[in-house]
Amino acid sequence: MTIAFGNPDRPNSYIGKTVPRPNAPRLVQGRGRFVDDITLPRMAHVAFVRSPYAHARIGGIDAAAAKAVKGVLRVFTGADIAEVCTPWVAVLAHLKGLKSPPQHALATDRATWVGEPVAAVLATTRAAAEEAASLVEVAYEALPVVTDMMSALDETTPVIHPDLGDNLAFRRLHDEGDVEGAFAGAHAVVSARFRTARHTGVTLEPRSILVDWNPAEGQLVAWHATQAPHMMQTVLAKHLALPESRVRVICGDVGGSYGIKVHVYPDEVATAAIAKIMGRPVKFVADRLESFTTDIHARDHIVDARLAVDEAGRILAFDVDDWTAIGPYSVYPRTSAIEGNQVVNLCGGPYDFANYRARTTVVFQNKTPTCQYRAVGHPIAVAITEGLVDMAAAELGMDPVEIRRRNLYADDAYPATSPAKMRFEGLSHHASLDKLVALMDYDALRADQAAARKRGVHRGIGIASFIELTNPSPFMYGIGGARISAQDGCTVRMDPDGSVVALSGVTEQGQGTEAMLAQIVAEGVGVSPSEVRVVTGDTQVTPYGGGTWASRGAGIGGEAALQAARALRDSILEVAAAMLQSEPGRLDIRAGAVVDPDTGEERLSLAELGRIVYFRGDTLPKGLPRELVQTRHFITSEYPFAFTNGVQASYLEVDVETGVVTLLKHWCVEDCGRIVNPQLVDEQIRGGIVQGLGGALYEEIHYDEEGQLLNGSMADYLVPMAAETPDMIVGHVETPTKESLLGAKGAGEAGTAGAPAAVMNAINDALRPLGAQVTEMPFTPERILRALGAIED
């Protein structure tokens, strides 16, 4: 049940158009209101004492010197916080076997990673709190450290949490068809060990929270840089023993999130606990350095994988053995098993094949906890899949585009269910690939590559098809017992001046959620987007919802907004019909006025209608419904997830003497269903690609064997910058989901999902004539030269 938004000449045609972002001028003029901009009377600042050891028993804590610092109000230990704040255990029932120990807001008896908070200092200024924190003396007794992933389960490796019995957090095996038989009968088998590095999502605004406990009201208010205010409401209420109704989470401007800000962080919960203990507002803003050891990490995987093909290049089977290490705790409440689980769900995703075996092994270690980060698991699964497909093509002497054409699900094959048991409603792999090949002028690029090779210049073309999971249903978290809503709501009301206010449960972190909602509501009601004010991010104000993650803002939040807007339109027309002695079906709303749909002639402005409804209701018929406000909630029901698809390509040059990769150009064609705002979607794709390029070429968190983080600053943890970023050409195919009127699927993670694989394949395309291949990300100059055998140790 979708609406035909295809006609660009339809009235109020804002959906599908690039319209100005209502919040952009405010943000670029520096008039945003981030948590750090908020100052409350009697506000105090907290700074945390963090473990310098990856694993240590916590002995005595001597805070005498810290307490002597001017401005210090109090020093808190783990035991102090535990008196008002219960620990949490991050498991989900549907991830069978997942285990994790109770985690406290401040470590009580043991610290288990470098950066874990072990004490907190509250002071009247941040500087005093930091100064005092550096003077808190903690007696640590170093304990054996587990840092290596692949030996974490060995009998000789210490067990980090003895109560759990071993270091295994989660393991899942999916076995479909006859994998061994397929490999035994294959024409060719290719295999490789893939490595994706430990990353973190570097947000412009660090994690931030300001909490005020008002004992007179019995209410806790948290201004929080979060993606999921309602989830945080539940978490704070539960662990501080408050009724949910007495916790209000307000999420104003947020400076980027990428999944980093959808998790529960011990220091943030401790901040809330301290506010409750002290009865005054307490602010915590992470600095960039502590962010590196405390923001969640991700993507730390080692994967052995193989692929069997027949002589025509048809895929017979994938066999994937994935390992990942998640730090000492599964992260609350979404858990740290999801990423490995996604690898199992997504490998081979674009391809129509029968035999599939994938196992993920998720182990504990003494490093910063890992959890969901933009495109969770996708970059890993796509790298494995597309890397192997290219290797098979090379083995068969087949063009990389051709082998994909022979294996991608046909565009008329839907609905389809993959061997990983993922259900696809409607994808467009072939149309997308055809469009990509045309956009990049593939044949001309191959000619350029050959000509360059004659000059001794090594260029490569890499292709990567992918699927992306968006619009999750309760199958993602809800069925596992987490109070994380897959449903979202929107309330749309008309005020006396004829303007419209929309209150939505999804949130804005800088990506343009509010612009998207405004144009949907504008079209749904029949007003200009400038007449729509959008309110998000306040649990006491907006309808209940999940927030913005898993690329659900447009698909779920947008659909709720559209349905609410159309319902408001109906309400307005019912009143208008009474006033104009007409019928709702013979009226329309266009550009803020009730009009005759045939002639477009204005019959009544919404401002006049508002004046009469709100101030001269006595002139309207008795019993006429006059609620100019409507709320709708939306949840998907047919499919667990709305899968999207796409394909990316990279063209690059490898300097085979230095190992340096220069990105020349990048293309992406993707299908996110209905595009609400083309510019915002393209920006999502481009931003996502850049994060994927970071994974391919730059980003890697290094630890030593003692669990010390070695490159925790922006000088040493390299993220891609403008100078390294190539021109990116973005194209679209639109296959709207039939689950909603709007037809939108998610677009936020597609860029990140496919870019690393495209770059890897392009590098290997460049290196192949030299007999070299790289599969360990990031592809540093050194790794490339080592693959070429150019370095003598």
Partner 1 sequence: MKAAVGGYARARDLRHALELLSSADGMGRVLAGGQSLVAALNMRLTTGDILVDISALADCRGVADDGGTLRIGALTRHAEIGRDPLVRAHAPLLAEAVGHIAHAAIRNRGTIGGAIAHADPAAEFPACALALGAVMRVEGLDGPRDIPVEAFFRDTFETALAEGEILTAISVPKAAPGEVQVIQEVARRSGDYALAGLCLVRRAGRHRLALFSTGPKPMLATAAMAALDGGDTEAAISALKAEIDPPSDTQASGAYRRHLAGVLLRRAVARIEGGTR
Binding site for partner 1 (CB under 8 A): 126-127, 130-131, 134, 287, 289-290, 657-660, 698, 700, 702, 710-711, 713, 715-716, 718, 720-721, 723-724, 780-782, 785, 790-793
Q: Which CB sits closer to partner 1, 202 or 228?
A: 202
**Rounded alpha-carbon distances, angstroms, from residue 299 to 47, 196, 199, 752, 753:** 29, 6, 6, 12, 12
Smallest separation (angstroms) from partner 1 to the CB of 728: 18
Q: Which CB sits closer to partner 1, 216 or 723?
A: 723
Smallest separation (angstroms) from partner 1 to the CB of 254: 22
Q: Which CB sits closer to partner 1, 136 or 521?
A: 136
3-state secondary structure at position 182: helix
Cis amide prior to 419 (ω within 30 degrees): no
Q: Which CB sits closer to partner 1, 129 or 753?
A: 129
Distance in angstroms between the alpha carbons of the first and the last residue of the chain: 64
Beta bridge partners of 307: 190, 318
Smallest separation (angstroms) from partner 1 to the CB of 792: 7
Smallest separation (angstroms) from partner 1 to the CB of 125: 8
- In degrees, rounded to 5, the angle at the alpha carbon of residue 428 between the alpha carbons of residues 431 and 12 is 95
Smallest separation (angstroms) from partner 1 to the CB of 163: 35
Q: Quick one: DSSP state of residue 461?
A: E
- In degrees, rounded to 5, the angle at the alpha carbon of residue 703 between the alpha carbons of residues 701 and 708 is 125
Smallest separation (angstroms) from partner 1 to the CB of 778: 10
Q: Which CB sits closer to partner 1, 354 or 721?
A: 721
Nearest Cα neighbor of 639 from 430, 483, 416, 334 is: 416
Q: Which CB sits closer to partner 1, 209 or 346?
A: 209
72: enclosing H helix or E strand? strand 72-77
Q: Which CB sits closer to partner 1, 266 or 659?
A: 659
Q: Which CB sits closer to partner 1, 34 or 698?
A: 698
DSSP labels, 106-150: S-SSEE-STT-EEEEEEESSHHHHHHHHTT-EEEEEE------ST
Instruction: Go through 114-123 and write b for each residue having 16 or more CB atoms within 10 A of its CB, e for each that does not.
Output: bbbbbbbbbb
Smallest separation (angstroms) from partner 1 to the CB of 288: 8
Q: Quick one: DSSP state of residue 281?
A: -
Instruction: Go through 728-760 and write b for each residue having 16 or more CB atoms within 10 A of its CB, e for each that does not.
Output: bbbbbbbbbbebbbbbbbbbbbbbbbbbbbbbb
Smallest separation (angstroms) from partner 1 to the CB of 780: 7
Q: Which CB sits closer to partner 1, 452 or 718?
A: 718
Q: Which CB sits closer to partner 1, 350 or 694?
A: 694
Smallest separation (angstroms) from partner 1 to the CB of 327: 19
Smallest separation (angstroms) from partner 1 to the CB of 127: 4
Query: How many beta carbons lie within 10 A of that of residue 422, not counting itself?
Result: 18
236: enclosing H helix or E strand? helix 229-239
Q: Which CB sits closer to partner 1, 613 or 766?
A: 766
Q: Which CB sits closer to partner 1, 180 or 704?
A: 704
Query: How many beta carbons lie within 10 A of that of residue 180, not counting itself?
Result: 13
Q: Which CB sits closer to partner 1, 236 or 286?
A: 286
**Helix/strand/coil (H, E, C) string of 709-761?**
ECCCCCCCCCCCCHHHCCEEEEEECCCCCCCCCCCECCCCCHHHHHHHHHHHH
DSSP labels, 376-430: TTHHHHHHHHHHHHHHHHHHHT--HHHHHHTTBPPTT--SEE-TT--EES---HH
Smallest separation (angstroms) from partner 1 to the CB of 260: 19
Distance CA 122, CA 130 (A): 9
Smallest separation (angstroms) from partner 1 to the CB of 140: 20
Q: Which CB sits closer to partner 1, 457 or 535?
A: 457
Burial of 219 from C-beta contacts in 10 A (0-12 / 13-18 / 19+)? middle
Q: Which CB sits closer to partner 1, 154 or 287?
A: 287
Smallest separation (angstroms) from partner 1 to the CB of 198: 12
Q: Which CB sits closer to partner 1, 97 or 789?
A: 789
* Residue that is written with structure tokens 């609400």 in the block: 676
Beta bridge partners of 492: 502, 630
Q: Quick one: DSSP state of residue 570?
A: H
Q: Which CB sits closer to partner 1, 214 or 711?
A: 711
**Rounded alpha-carbon distances, angstroms, from residue 776 to 286, 304, 383, 430, 781:** 31, 12, 10, 29, 12
Distance CA 82, CA 491 (A): 39
**Rounded alpha-carbon distances, angstroms, from residue 163 to 100, 106, 108, 496:** 10, 20, 16, 63
**Rounded alpha-carbon distances, angstroms, from residue 422 to 31, 63, 417:** 44, 54, 5
Smallest separation (angstroms) from partner 1 to the CB of 130: 5
450: enclosing H helix or E strand? helix 442-454
Q: Which CB sits closer to partner 1, 153 or 719?
A: 719
Query: How many beta carbons lie within 10 A of that of residue 169, not counting itself?
Result: 31
Smallest separation (angstroms) from partner 1 to the CB of 366: 19
Burial of 356 from C-beta contacts in 10 A (0-12 / 13-18 / 19+)? buried
3-state secondary structure at position 152: coil
Smallest separation (angstroms) from partner 1 to the CB of 116: 18
Distance CA 568, CA 318 (A): 51
Smallest separation (angstroms) from partner 1 to the CB of 407: 36
Smallest separation (angstroms) from partner 1 to the CB of 53: 19
